[in-house]
Structure 1
Amino acid sequence: MRLPRLLCCLLLLPLLWLGQAQAKVRPYDDMVASGVLRVAVYDKFPPYSFQQDGQPRGVDVDLAKRLAEGLGLRAEFLWMVPGESLDDDLRNFIWKGHYLRPGVVADLMLRVPYDRNYSNKRNDVGELANAQVVMFGPYQRERWQVVHDARRLPQVSSIAAFREHRIGVELDSVPSFYLGSVLGGQLSAMTVHFPSTQEAFDAMRAGKVDAVMALRGELDWMRAQAHDEQLKNAENTYPNLGEPAWDIGMAVHESNRQLSNAIDGELEDLVHSGELEKLYAGYGLRYELPEFYQDTQ
């Protein structure tokens, strides 16, 4: 006899809770003994982390492999589907685990904003929201970017160009909200929303929009794949955009500072040797030093 759906869910709840409670953070010595570094990266997020022909690819994937090799380990990947917030991702992959993956958390997570205000964020009762996480290792500076098709829009002298030219954005993204509100909402009528940045970019190539606004890394990758010299980067600024550029780093559990210290040393070598910049160039991306390293130059 089939149990009612609600009863099934109630019976499963203790098992789901138990699975989450059993997630165990591995000490550094256990990682070394296993020969494996478990790294959490976002799935379906080219050029940073994605799977092609069953193989992991992307800048973050390659960086994780280099870091693991430097520690004498092999990188093993846990693929993340973004939660409602970064807090969710840190909880599910760094310190608590997820009921769909009981007993397993990552040793290291990539593509975490390296931001003091976020690290010190407090919850509703005044406690650190991510007290069980150490955010460290800035390795890239990311920016918002506009790419335009010079055949229909020869130049973008300012964001005001999109009073008359259609621009594509990913739905519910920062560019979506920004273009809908900047200049008193004057650009909203010419802002076209798509399910993904790739679909917005494809629409530009098809002549449906004249430009796209998205993450610089994503657009660099798409331009490199398109092999079209008429797709140009706009070099204008974005007035009233709160965070036009920010640093990207890593995260480990707060008990794994030995791991974060070891990775910091490997990362510093990759940055100063120029190897990290070459890694980005291999995917057609421009590399910009995080502010942490700019201050030490």
Structure 2
Amino acid sequence: MPGKRPSSTPRVTTAPSKPSPSILVGLLRPRILLTLSILLFIGVFAPYAPRLIPNLKGRPEYRVDSRSIAVPGGHEWIPADVVQESFEGRDPLLSLLEPETAETVARELQKHPWVDRVNRVSVNRNGTISADLSYRKPVAFIEASSGLYPVDADGVLLPPKDFSPQDAEAFPHIRNVSSAPPRQAGLVWEDAVVKGGAKIADRLTPGGDRERIWKRFGLVGIAGPRGGKPVSGAAVDQISFELLTSAGSRIQWGKAPGADDLEPTFDQKIGRLQHYLATYGSFDKPQGPYDIDIRGFEAISLYPLDSKLYR
């Protein structure tokens, strides 16, 4: 019987795959080609773009003079050139295209001693800049060894140059201040007599009205403790004040508003003084001048200033 030939496994070969016609057709679509062209263009020219695009920030039509910034008018002591003073010493031109321009304007205006708060800064489409400001208001003058100094209700020193001698005489005066004023306007005078006296002056001249209480009561000054050393502004709750009258009487007022609830309230103290005036017509009558103490809850205490107690 003839032998069988060994069976051989047929050899399989794979032909190279060809791109699918559907993929090629998809890549050749106009929208895809356009997208690829844009991406290629960006990749090639992006590094050179900053050199090709013009810098508009420095062009005159996109810059504004800081002196033209619109701000609200203030009271009679606010200088007309408050914006110019705020930007003194720096480039007055501002770019309308810089994102930090509004922040820069707010920062420079806030430095001015008359500006209490910058509420808003607007860079407008018409190429202008405007700012909404709240201004500080004078309430009293401090009698210091080196002169008279205006302050607001928080004891912030205001620019003395913006006041006339007649202005200084019209405001309440705070006396017995032994510390020196701050080195520049716009800073808080850290002295308890200054800060407490300014709060009292503010309440005695509501809204800047010096007629209703201050002048009607014949007041001329607010005095801290006599002969004392400077007291830190943080200790304002510890200071007791006197009101001085044109007739020579001294009213023992007590602590600054909000400092001590063991005394009558501000309105209760004013009510007592109004009742005294209605009864006698003046704080030096009937046989004054007096030391008038309104700090007690029960009644007013009255002592003649020429008594042995005050000799």
Q: Going by fraction, where is helix more abundant, 1 or 2?
A: 1
Q: What TM-score do the two structures reach when normalised by structure 1?
A: 0.22
Q: Of the two, which has the highest radius of gyration? A: 2
Q: What TM-score do the two structures reach when normalised by structure 2?
A: 0.22
> Which of the pair has the greater relative contact order for Cα pairs under 8 Å at 6+ separation?
1
